[in-house]
Amino acid sequence: MSVVTKKEEKVNKVFDSMSNIHDMQEFKNIFMEMYPDDWKRIISTYNKEERKDTKGKGHPMPKPEIYLSNMYKVGLKKR
């Protein structure tokens, strides 16, 4: 299951709200503002994965800020 439900739809709404679609920081700020529950879920899921990683081998989920950066990059390519 995806960490963010209806991710593509939400990413498009964030891009539609932006004044400069080439500003990754603006994307992150608007996403956090528009979808605070999803942002909390991203952080919570990351922290849960961190706790599971007892052997220090890492896990597939990137840090929350990087997760948003990846959402931005994928969304920008689709535009």
**pLDDT tens-place string over residues 27-46:** 999 999 999 999 999 999 99
pLDDT reported for residue 33:
98
Specify if 7 maps to a domain.
no
Q: How many domains does the chain have?
A: 1
DSSP states of 33-71: HH-HHHHHHHHHHHHHHHHH-TTS---SPPPHHHHHHHH
Is 55 a member of any domain?
A: no
Question: What is the DSSP code (8-state) at residue 4?
Answer: S
Q: Does residue 6 form part of some domain?
A: no
CA distance 45 to 23: 26
Please give the model's pTM, rounded to 2 decimal places.
Answer: 0.90
Boundaries of domain holding 23:
13-48+60-78
For residues 7 and 71, the answer to whether their CB atoms sit within 8 Å is: yes
- Would 43 be classed as within a structural domain? yes
Q: What is the mean pLDDT of each run of 10 residues along the chain (79 residues)?
A: 91 98 98 98 93 77 96 96
How confident is the model at residue 1, as a pLDDT? Answer: 64
Q: How far apart are CA 69 and CA 31, in angstroms?
A: 11
Q: What is the pLDDT of residue 50?
A: 86
